């Protein structure tokens, strides 16, 4: 996954078949226990999948573009050990603007990691996703302006702090 251009290709295999089988069994058991709630669950499943598919397409295109245009050397410059403040700004901004559930981004992020992006920046990216620019007005409506501003600033600081801690832990291993 996400290996750089010219790297050895791994054989194709589905990941998570056992987990999927387990979830299918769960649905079977749930259906026997409460049919109407299970049907509601299936409707929820279809709805979530419908909203997820466009995001997965965007992530796939982004992954292809990264594989095509970003070589490990230039990626290391922007997101590697020597990326400095620029690396933090890229990681935090990317986290804030990224949409959809976290797991939709796993393949792309692992691709970046395999190309040399350091773990601290990836952890900062994941935590910065808690800031949702499009939803800020809604957050203000529910919790007030003060809470929204304080939470947003502290979340970004915490994302950066986690990244720093992770980098130190990685360096000490």
Partner 1 sequence: MQSFLNAFKKATKNMLSMAPMILAIVGLVGLFQGFVTRQMLASLFGGNPVADTLVGTFAGMIAVGQAMISYILGGELLDQGVSLYAVAAFVLAWVTLGIVQLPMEIEVFGGRFVLYRNLLAFVSTILVATAAAGVTLWLA
- The interface with partner 1 within residues 9-68 (CB under 8 A) comprises 9, 12-17, 19-20, 22-24, 26-27, 30, 34, 37-46, 48-49, 51-52, 56, 59-61, 63-65, 67-68
Listed residue (44, 48, 41, 16) closest to 26, CA to CA: 41
At closest approach, how far in Å is the CB of 159 from partner 1?
8
Q: Which is nearer to partner 1, 16 or 84 (CB)?
A: 16
Query: How many residues sit close enough to partner 1 to count as binding (CB under 8 A)?
Result: 78
SS (H, E, C) 129-154: CCCCHHHHHHHHHHHCHHHHHHHHHH
Among 86, 93, 133, 161, binds partner 1 (CB under 8 A): 161
Q: Which two tokens stand for residue 57?
A: 């397409």
Q: Token pair of 63, please? A: 């992954």
Nearest to 128 by CA among 105, 165, 100, 160: 160
Using CB under 8 A, which residues numbered 124 to 153 contact partner 1?
A: 126-127, 129-130, 132, 135, 138-139, 142-144, 146-147, 150-151
What does the radius of gyration of the chain's CA atoms come to, in whole angstroms? Answer: 20
Yes or no: say if 38 and 30 are a contact pair by the CB < 8 Å rule.
yes
Taking the C-alpha atoms of residue 141 and residue 156, their distance in angstroms, rounded to an integer, is 21
Output the smallest distance, CB 14 to partner 1, in A.
5
Shortest distance (Å) from residue 84 CB to partner 1: 21
Positions in 88-117 near partner 1 (CB under 8 A): 101-104, 106-107, 109-111, 113
CB of 55 to partner 1, least distance (A): 11
């Amino acid at each position: 996954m996400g290996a750089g251009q010219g790297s050895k290709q791994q054989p194709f295999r589905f990941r998570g078949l056992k987990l999927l089988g387990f979830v299918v069994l769960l649905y079977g058991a749930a259906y026997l226990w409460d049919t109407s709630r299970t049907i509601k669950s299936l409707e929820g499943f279809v709805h979530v999948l419908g909203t997820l598919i466009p995001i997965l397409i965007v992530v796939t295109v982004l992954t292809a573009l990264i594989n095509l245009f970003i070589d490990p050397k230039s990626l290391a410059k922007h997101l590697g050990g020597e990326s400095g403040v620029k690396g933090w700004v890229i990681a935090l901004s990317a986290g804030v603007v990224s949409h959809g559930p976290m797991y939709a981004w796993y393949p792309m992020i692992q691709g970046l990691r395999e190309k040399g992006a350091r773990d601290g920046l990836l952890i900062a990216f994941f935590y910065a996703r808690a800031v949702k620019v499009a939803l800020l007005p809604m957050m203000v409506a529910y919790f007030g302006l003060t809470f929204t501003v304080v939470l947003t600033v502290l979340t970004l600081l915490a994302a950066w702090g986690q990244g720093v801690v992770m980098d130190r832990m990685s360096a000490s291993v």
